Amino acid sequence: MKIFVLNCGSSSIKYQLFDMTDETVIAKGLAEKIGNPEGHIELKITNPKNKIEVNLPLADHSVALNKIMDMMTENGVIKDKSEITAIAHRLVHAGEYYHGSVEVTDDVVFRIQECNDLAPLHIPANIIGIRTCQKLFPDTFMSGTFDTAFHHTMPDYAYMYPIDYKYYEKYRVRRYGFHGSSHFFVSNRAAEMLGKDIKDLKIVTCHLGNGCSMAAVDGGKSIDTTMGMTPLEGVMMGTRSGDVDPGVIFFLADKEGGHQAVNKMFNKNSGLFGVSGISNDMRDIRKARDEGNKRAALALAMFTYRIKKYIASYAAAMGGVDVVIFTGGIGENVGEIRERSVEGLEFMGIKMNKELNNTICGSEAVVSTDDSKVKVMVIPTNEELVLARDSKKLYEEKFGKK
């Protein structure tokens, strides 16, 4: 069984092709600058290892997907697209409609479109991806996995906002959370690595990349997470502010050009980039800090301080913590950020193996000491594998094993 995993953005497509016999990645890549006269497609083949890149006009997602299929057949990845058993879509938002992965049907697409106001930048791109695949693969099974689904187990006192209740009733204004597939994967992988039943573990997961979110996972269920109705709430991120006094928004809207200007400011020009004035890339910021840049040093201090606060607050929410996990581009690769994010939490039972922590980059490891009451772990995330597994399960439930 081969499953094609797709993550469609407004001008890009990220993809992976899995052989579900052993869950290996056959090929993966990216199409970008869709809609531009100078588009780019990258195909990375696992065995034999090969990388192919082409530059060409990509008028729309259909053109890009057709070219990806051509590149995979021309380079022997597949004989033709009929080899693909199922297509798994990463979908950003399900509102309150779906609490798990689903087969993509016209009714599901209709429900997703009803959630457009909740994620106006992402949902149209998700719909484009689905409609394109329906044209190119009319007889192929398709599934959808929602970023929000894992967090549906949050209790109402965690997901509700302390505003007039009528706005929840009218518009479903509440906290939904994102990065669900990542938090699900790393928390379950931690239980496997530790030889524990996840039902017996209290875990804080830290997904740190350009977008950052954290979750309190109690017994395998998300009971709280940092992102809210949108991905803007929570910890400080690459270009997003994270938590901020709402009064600041009103103040700056009056001073800086209104709603749209401030919306862009908080989403695109804040976070690490906004504070440092340099970049949203952690490598650039650390380099500038080492060269004496005080704003870069401030950005790093703010970033880790806010992570630390959430670790402690989630321990309080769960009545303790057994494991803290770091994942995502920053979480997996920057030992300094992991160390600073738990510094001062020794009272909770965290003891870091600093020497080991500083050597771990992009691989699984326990980076706390053997006698640390709380295990600190690094686990590379694999959201695409979660999507592929869910798609395989749904396919087999409908058609039987293949």
Query: Is the entire prediction scored with pTM above 0.75?
Result: yes
Tally of CB atoms within 10 A around 244? 15
- Alpha helix positions (H), 292-334: 294-318, 328-333
Q: Kindly name the residue from 19, 22, 70, 147 that is annotated as catalytic.
A: 147
What was the pLDDT predicted at 358? Answer: 97
Which residues fall within 8 angstroms of residue 21, CB to CB, at 6 or more apart? 1
CA 25-183-307 angle, 5° bins: 125
Q: What is the pLDDT of residues 157-170, one digit of tens each?
A: 999 999 999 999 99
Nearest to 30 by CA among 64, 62, 2: 64
> What are the CA-CA distances from residue 170 to residues 93, 121, 164, 173 (Å)?
18, 21, 11, 8
Mean pLDDT (whole number) for 321-338: 98
Q: State the pLDDT confidence band at 79, using cuts at 50, 70 and 90.
A: very high
CATH code at 2-146: 3.30.420.40
What was the pLDDT predicted at 321? Answer: 98
Q: Which amino acid is at 355?
A: E
What was the pLDDT predicted at 14? Answer: 94
DSSP string, 229-290: SSTTSSS--SS---S--HHHHHHHHHHTTSHHHHHHHHHHS-HHHHHHSS-S-HHHHHHHHH
Q: Please give the residue that has the higher pLDDT: either 87 or 9.
A: 87
% of the chain with per-residue pLDDT over 70: 100
**Domain 195-383 coded CATH 3.30.420.40:** yes
Whole-angstrom Cα distance, residue 21 to residue 202? 32
**Residue 402 reports pLDDT greater than 70:** no
**Residue 300 reports pLDDT greater than 90:** yes
Mean pLDDT (whole number) for 62-83: 93
**Residue 7 reports pLDDT greater than 80:** yes
- What is the residue extent of each domain of the chain? 2-146, 195-383
What was the pLDDT predicted at 371? Answer: 97
What was the pLDDT predicted at 144? Answer: 97
Spell 84-106 as b/e; 16+ CB within 10 A means b: bbbbbbbbbbbbebbeebbebee
**Residue 401 reports pLDDT greater than 80:** no
Answer yes or no: same fold for 2-146 and 195-383: yes
What was the pLDDT predicted at 121? Answer: 75
Q: What is the pLDDT of residues 104-160, one digit of tens each?
A: 999 999 999 998 888 887 888 899 999 999 999 999 999 999 999 999 999 999 999
**Residue 203 reports pLDDT greater than 80:** yes
147 catalytic residue (yes or no): yes
Q: Please give the residue that has the higher pLDDT: either 276 or 62.
A: 276
What integer best gives the mean pLDDT of the chain?
95
Mean pLDDT (whole number) for 336-343: 98
